[in-house]
Chain A
Amino acid sequence: MKALVTGSAGFIGGHLCDRLRVHGYTPVGYDLRDGDDVMDGERLIARARGCDAIFDCAGVLGTAETFADLERTVDVNIRGTLRVLEVASALRIPLVYLSLKQTWHNPYMITKRAATEFCQMYGEYHGLPVVVIRGLNAYGPGQHWGRVRKVVPTFIVQALQGEPLVVYGSGEQAADFVYVSDMAEVMVRALERACWGHVFDCGTGISTSVNELAGLVIELAGGSSRLQYARMRQGEPQESAQVAETAPMRDLLGFVPDVPLREGMAATVAWYRAHWRETEVAA
């Protein structure tokens, strides 16, 4: 069995490819890094032909960063997903779409929300077998840092270098941190259990504040970094508390992400200790 993965060179897409191989699927990578653009419908349909599933993980990422890249964010995250939906619909291939739980007012999250609605529209009116995974904060080995600020790799690299960890706002914002291969497992199970029409949150259901995360990272990295507070960035609310509703995963997928934050973060710090320079993306 073959599965097309858009955004296959990305953080979640890459781990999803590993997870697919463990489940017996041959992943077919589709990533802009290799010249495979989700906006290119002809190329997309040619690569999707013969596949048994599509996982759409492609997208322009970033909260504050996407304000300056609004047109491209709309194009890739909405029009790109529409191309994927058209291809999946034309070939009658089931689709697993990776979305977000957060509903903040920045181009990234607005476009992912819109794309989620289009997925549901294709399910309802075109009969497409589609399932949406609303991911919380995925972390783990191999996440890029630098151009787009992702809190976990940014904190880890700052801590490993002995620099202050920059916290935006009060640091009391609560998030749900989910180990990346747990998220990949949820995505594969959603396909295998044919949960068409469902929208799943994907997280642990456990709330952790940014301050708590920073403290944990400093402890695990073994440095002497301190916290440095800065004004909240554009596109991120002063107060937020996002955690996954886990019951649907438990009931329908028989699985809830369960790599504990401390152990998952310790493994992630170990990976960055050896590899952090490889994952920097220049601004």
Chain B
Amino acid sequence: MRLGIGILGWNRPYYLIETLRALRDNDLTDCDAHLFQDGAVCRVTGAVRAEARDIEADVAVFRAMLPGGTIHQHEQRVGIAENRLAQLGYLSEHYDLWLALEDDVVVSSQYVALMRNLLEDWAGRDNVGAFSSPLWAEQAVQERLGYHVSERPNGPVSVLATRTPWFAPVLDRFRQYCEVIRPYEYRDGWPEYQTAVRQLFGGQNIVVSSDGTLIWAFQASGRRLWGVVSTRAITLGRDGTHMTPEIYQRVGYAAGVVHQHPEELAVPFVDATPL
């Protein structure tokens, strides 16, 4: 069965190179890669939010490093939420098994095969929304629970693996959110944006970012976000919101090491939640 891989792209080609390098180290047989590339000029305000040349660089890097891939280019800047909706919607429409990554995620060289195994092993389960990967895990935990999965209520959504039937109710909720925020820009329309999203959440005080809302969408649709216990992906971000030097300083660099064990592909997955 073909597996779709969708990557969100904006204006950080220097991270995208590393995301693609890591993907390329995987066996990509029966996989299709897609770049969902945001634009430079905000569709709501008309403000320039990125250098057009940096957007072009993103596209050029993708073309050079994964020449068989497909580019889905927005004419204008639609923002992370709308771009993510395009990514999740397209993958749901065209694939049964798929992976959704952000542009600064670096996965292990067994990640694609591991996720394929996991999605196939757990196909009969009805309580799954998607699998995430912790962006860091304590070394001791990695060693003890290396091959296991566990429910991660707040797992990062920057790297997801799922099946379309699992994800369908989550996507419905996320689409609701995108419809609510469509008239606003996240940056300049913040107060209106925040009010509209809080109304969608029924007044709950939930993080209203695209990441926070996706986590809410899992919870609201009764689908669980599971994760492999040890780190199969890290974010490189020396800037942005992921693993900045400050965060690494706090959690320790040792935590941000990719768990690379080719032999794990032969080991069955175990639900480690009770542990």
Contact = CB atoms under 8 A, between A and B. Distances in A.
Interface string A184-211: 0100000000000000000000000000
Secondary structure at the B interface, as helix, strand, loop or mixed, is: helix
B260 A23 contact: yes
B96 interface: no
Nearest to A142: B238
B24 to A, nearest CB: 10
Nearest to A27: B253
B258 A267 contact: no
A24 B264 CA distance: 14
Interface string A140-177: 11100000000000000000000000000000000000
A270 B257 contact: no
B209 to A, nearest CB: 21
Interface in A239-274: 259-260, 262-264, 266-271, 273-274
B259 A270 contact: no
Nearest to A185: B21
A270 B260 contact: no
Interface stretch (B7-15, B192-200, B218-226): B7-15
A22 interface: yes
B260 A179 contact: no
B60 A263 contact: yes
B61 A266 contact: yes
A24 B257 contact: yes
Contact of B61 (A21, A220, A267, A273): A267
B32 interface: no
Interface in A6-53: 17-18, 21-27, 29
A24 B258 contact: yes
B211 interface: no
A179 B22 CA distance: 15
Contacts of A17: 253
Contact of B14 (A23, A26, A140, A260): A140
Interface in B17-42: 17-18, 21-22
Interface stretch (B48-56, B112-120, B179-187): B48-56
B258 A23 contact: yes
A81 interface: no
A17 B245 CA distance: 12
Interface in B102-130: 106, 108
Contacts, number: 82
B234 interface: yes
Contacts of B17: 179, 181, 259, 263-264, 267
B239 interface: yes
Given A181-B21, A268-B14, A21 B57 contact: no
Nearest to A219: B53
B64 interface: yes
A26 B257 contact: yes
A222 interface: yes
A273 B13 CA distance: 12
B254 interface: yes
B89 to A, nearest CB: 28
B239 A24 contact: no
A262 B64 CA distance: 10
B234 A22 contact: yes
A266 B12 CA distance: 10
A49 B13 CA distance: 38
19 contacts: A17-B253, A18-B18, A21-B258, A24-B108, A26-B253, A27-B253, A141-B14, A179-B17, A220-B53, A259-B17, A259-B64, A259-B65, A266-B13, A266-B57, A266-B61, A267-B16, A267-B17, A270-B12, A271-B14
Given A23-B260, A222-B51, A270-B14, 13 more contacts: A17-B253, A24-B261, A26-B254, A179-B17, A185-B21, A260-B64, A263-B17, A266-B53, A266-B57, A266-B61, A267-B13, A270-B54, A271-B14
Q: Considering the complex of A and B, which 3 residue pairs feature the smallest CB-CB distances, nearest first?
A: A266-B57, A24-B260, A267-B13
Interface of B: 11-14, 16-18, 21-22, 51, 53-54, 56-57, 60-61, 64-65, 106, 108, 139, 234, 236, 238-239, 253-254, 256-261
